[in-house]
Chain A
Amino acid sequence: MSLLQVEGLTKTFAGLTAVDSVDIAVADRVFLGIIGPNGAGKTTLFSLLAGSQPPTAGRVVFDDVDITGWSAQKVARAGLVRTFQLMRPFESMSVLENVTIASLAQRSRKDARRHALGVLERVQLAQYAGTSSGSLPTAGLKRLELARALAMEPRMILLDEVLAGLVPAERAPMIELLRELHGDGLTVMFVEHIMAAVMALSERLVVMHDGRVLTQGVPAEVIAEPQVVEAYLGEDY
């Protein structure tokens, strides 16, 4: 039984089809990677799944509930939480306050603060608890995005390029953290350009191209397919 079932999902903007009849099924506790060239529709797909935008057609079923067309707020409360490629901290607040906002969804104010600090420890950001979130470096902001999403206690998390902007030395600890979270039982769908990370983490891989799913399956097999090579590197390859 899949945790997330996407059927014929389509999004059209003024004649341009950004996401075109996408079918994806994600089983519980699976780490699924999505790759594809820029403009393939990966971020739009995330927006449709997370309720940031309504789809033009198709269906999204999460945990046996049809959540198609639900608002972002409602989807998040149902246990499907996204992060953003461009970090969006609440800049007037400290790092701990940022995460507490998310923890509040399910607890009293006092418990939420304590819970949030626990989450910060989990993502190794606790030493910055009192720091103003606006002054965190990129690597810290990426972890803050992750911490806020985790504080919602999601069943499934949608990560939009959590490794982008990190220098190589910062990537390995982040990959390790994602692996641990997955090991704890979190279902993950992530969009990523850094292939080493994609191959290290993904149990299933979806390749998107021009808004469509080009192919999906076991990562090592998928990336060897000629059409994938072609989509990435051009026909002259």
Chain B
Amino acid sequence: MTDTTARPAAAHELPAADDPRLKDTWARRQLLVLVAGVAVLSTLPLFLGEQAQSVAIRTLIFAIMAVGWNLMSGFGGMFSFGHAAFFGIGAYTGAYLLVDHGISPWISMVVAAVLSAAVGVAIAYLCLRYKLAGSYFALATFAFAQMFLLIVQNVDALHKTEGFNVEILPSDSWSMLQFQQGDPLYFWIPLAILAAAVLVSILYVRSRAGQYAQAVRDDEVAASSLGINTMRARLIAVALSCGVTAVAGVYYTQYYFFVGPEQAFGSAVSVEAIVPAVIGGIGTIWGPVIGAMVVGPLSELVATVLRNPPGFLSFLQGTSGLDVAVYATLLIVIVIVMPKGIFGTIRDRWRS
């Protein structure tokens, strides 16, 4: 029964291997854009002052998170409202290994990605096993993220609510990923991480696993009737997504020299992973990156307003949470005006 030559439906002619209809230049074009984009962006530290560079770095962290989120929620169709869990695992793995054990953050990135992928797969398996889909799936991921927040706040080894302070070294160190304040390497390193994350997305989308995940997203019943292991296809998407997001977390701790439960596992972090992807375009390669370019500077603007509000907004001084309110408003506007996001909408217009 495994003898495929005996299968009669194979009795059709194969088109020529160089048939023009078989040409697929998509991946090559995306890689070209990636190379060009990295080349242009890598010159930014030459123009940016220290303040602007810190905004740009914040933007890159947003972008890595959103690219990660998009792998699972965009291409895999499983909407995560709890990506803080995976960002937090990254941030805390990096902090714990560095502060308490002196382990290099480069190693932590690998450890955190693997750990986060394993936790993500376990959570997703439970949700899918019990057939949670759509908003129920999203709520379940949110619940897990909140659970992690509570656990971290109550575990001594993780410094409870105090979080971790990273010791500042007297000199530059590649192995410990520490440089002079304002050093362009603080920009180039997350840029390289983002480029790697986008590269993973491009390769994944065209891979067998990625094609299967998108088929399952579009129609699970049809996919399983074509012999696709739907659970496996989804869990691969989850593992990649959670791994990438965790790396953003490790870098966060490294750059800000501090991480606490709210910065790592707070629900605002989950929102920060979602918003750039939704604004830019869910399920597209470039949407999350473009969205982050909007959200990153915007978050800085909001923070500035809060530090020094104009007269009529003086009641806001010293409060927090306005950023999330602004994101929410922006999200509503985008969903109404451009339901496919900035990139998705422009791409569709271009095609038609």
Interface residues of A (CB under 8 A from B): 29, 50, 52, 63-65, 71-74, 76-79, 81-82, 84, 88-93, 96-97, 100-102, 104-106, 109, 113-115, 117-119, 121-122, 126, 129-130, 148-150, 152-155, 157, 181, 184-186
Give me 20 A-to-B residue pairs in the complex whose CB atoms sit less than 8 angstroms apart, sorted by A's number: A50-B225, A52-B224, A65-B1, A76-B224, A76-B225, A81-B226, A89-B222, A91-B219, A97-B211, A100-B211, A102-B227, A114-B14, A117-B19, A117-B22, A119-B12, A126-B21, A148-B226, A152-B226, A153-B10, A154-B7
- How many Å lie between the Cα of A72 and that of B220 in the bound state? 11
Q: Is the CB of A117 within 8 A of B15?
A: yes
CA distance A113 to B21 in the complex (A): 10
Asked whether, in the complex, the Cβ of A92 is within 8 Å of the Cβ of B283, the reply is: yes
Q: Which of B10, B207, B218, B226 has the most CB of A within 10 A?
A: B226
Interface bits B1-17 vs A (CB < 8 Å: 1, else 0): 10010111111111101
With beta carbons under 8 angstroms apart, the residue of A91, A105, A121, A185 that contacts B226 is A105
B4–chain A nearest beta-carbon distance, Å: 6
Known A117-B19, A153-B9; contact A109-B208, beta-carbon cutoff 8 A: yes
Q: With A65-B1, A79-B7, A154-B9 in contact, is A114–B227 under 8 Å at CB?
A: no
New contact pairs (7) apart from A76-B226, A84-B222, A154-B7, CB-CB < 8 Å: A84-B221, A90-B215, A92-B283, A101-B215, A101-B223, A102-B226, A149-B226
What is the bound-complex CA distance between A91 and B22, given in angstroms? 20
Nearest A residue to B216 by beta-carbon distance? Answer: A90
- Interface set, chain B 183-241, CB cutoff 8 A to A: 206-208, 211-212, 214-215, 217-219, 221-230
> Which of chain B's residues have a CB closer than 8 A to the CB of A100?
211
Whether A114 and B226, one on each chain, are in contact in the complex, defined by CB atoms closer than 8 angstroms, is: no
Partner of B8, one of A50, A81, A184: A184
Q: Contact: A104 with B208, CB < 8 Å? A: yes
User: Considering the chains assembled together, what is the distance between the CA atoms of A221 and B8 in angstroms?
Assistant: 30
Q: Given A90-B218, A114-B17, A130-B21: A184 and B224 within 8 A (CB)?
A: no
Instruction: Say yes or no: A101 contacts B228, CB within 8 Å.
Output: yes
CB of B227 within 8 A of CB of A115, answer: no
Residues of A within 8 A of B17 (CB): 114
Are B283 and A77 in contact, with the CB atoms below 8 A?
Answer: no
CB distance from A19 to the nearest CB of B (A): 19
The answer to whether A155 and B1 touch across the interface, beta carbons within 8 angstroms, is yes
Q: Which of B15, B206, B222 contacts A114 (CB under 8 A)?
A: B15
Q: Which residues of B contact A91 (CB under 8 A)?
A: 218-219
A121–B12 CB distance below 8 A: yes
Question: How far is B225's CA from A63's CA once the two chains are assembled, in angstroms?
Answer: 18
- A-side contacts of B156, CB under 8 Å: none
- CA gap between A130 and B26 in the complex, in Å: 13
Q: Please tell me if B24 contacts chain A, counting CB pairs below 8 Å.
A: yes
A106 vs B5: C-alpha distance when bound (angstroms)? 12
Would you list the 10 A-B pairs with minimal beta carbon distance, nearest first? A185-B8, A88-B222, A90-B218, A76-B227, A122-B12, A153-B7, A77-B227, A72-B224, A184-B11, A105-B227
Residue among A73, A97, A152 with the highest chain B CB neighbour number at 10 A: A73
Chain A residues with CB under 8 Å of B15's CB are 114, 117-118, 121
In the bound complex, residues from chain A placing their C-beta under 8 Å from that of B227 are 73-74, 76-77, 102, 105, 152
Contacts of A63 in B (CB 8 A): 1
Question: In the complex, what distance in Å separates the CA atom of A157 from the CA atom of B24?
Answer: 30
